[in-house]
Amino acid sequence: MTIFSKIIAGEIPSYKCAENDRFYAFLDINPIAKGHTLVVPKHEVDYLFDLDDDELADMIVFAKRVAKAIRAAYPCRKVGMAVLGLEVNHAHIHLIPLQSEGDMDFRREKLQLTAEEMEEIAHRIREQF
Ligand code: AMP
């Protein structure tokens, strides 16, 4: 069972931003920007591009709704989308509020946010979803 499956099952806590019957969105625990969110399929698959066409399409449409909620909660120029998957072997999409190109730099120092700040961010996104 991947760490993200444990999150989806509620065995590990997460800052939930949105959910439907097939996908789950929650804050990245080491955010590179305020509102940095991960979107995952509840069904466990390692590599995003191994999802079948319909599931991938539906996941992107779900991510689109989440991105709109992020932008409504945290006004930004655009919400960037990235696929890495080098650390966690459970397909996921990173959604990152962008003011400039550098906001998408995964090597930048991670934000240090308290649990209260993380919950507040997730709450604001949930309210907009
Ligand atoms: P990658 O697989 O390279 O896309 O990176 C995995 C991402 O998942 C990283 O940005 C981590 O900070 C994030 N991550 C790992 N564990 C957790 C967790 N328990 N809750 C939220 N985000 C996590």
Instruction: Report the chain's mean pLDDT, rounded to a whole number.
Output: 97
123 is catalytic: no
Which residue among the candidates 36, 43, 90, 92 is catalytic per the annotation?
92
For the segment 75-83, the average pLDDT, to the nearest whole number, is 97
Decide if domain 3-128 falls under CATH 3.30.428.10.
Answer: yes
What Å distances lie between residue 95 and 23, 49, 60, 115, CA to CA?
14, 17, 11, 20
pLDDT band at 96 (very low <50, low <70, confident <90, very high): very high
At 38-74, the pLDDT tens digits run 999 999 999 999 999 999 999 999 999 999 999 999 9
Give backbone dihedrals phi and psi of 95, rounded to 5 degrees, phi first.
-115, 125
For the segment 93-107, the average pLDDT, to the nearest whole number, is 96
Atom 16 of ligand 1, residue of closest alpha carbon: 29
Whether the model pTM is above 0.85: yes
At 6-27, the pLDDT tens digits run 999 999 999 999 999 999 999 9
